[in-house]
Amino acid sequence: MARTLQQDFIVTEATGFCAGHFPGHPIVPAAVQLQWLVALAQRHQLGLDGYEVKNLKLLQELPPGTSVRLELVETARGWQGTVRGEAGEIYARCRFDFHPPQAAAD
């Protein structure tokens, strides 16, 4: 059975994620959305020894005040990462290949 990791939260301007992106029309940068997914993986001991991001797609702007769900789903081709809104709309998605932990050197 495939594993699924999830985290829900509300994006707020107070976090500083939107600073400079863009005055009068704040949005969450793609790099921040990607980092949220990586942090979710690492909290579950994935990607600690590195990872590759493949097929990153930004499908719409993510404004502050939005409730989002981060989701990582294990598939036969790696992990599918998604940032989606509470109505199911997708803001970003990508695929991750998490490197296996390296054996400790003797």
Q: Which domains does the chain have, with CATH numbers?
A: 4-40+51-98 (3.10.129.10)
pLDDT less than 70: residues of the chain:
1, 14-22, 103-106
pLDDT score recorded for residue 23: 72
Q: Is the dihedral angle over the CA atoms 65, 82, 84, 28 positive or is it negative?
A: positive
pLDDT score recorded for residue 16: 65
pLDDT score recorded for residue 93: 97
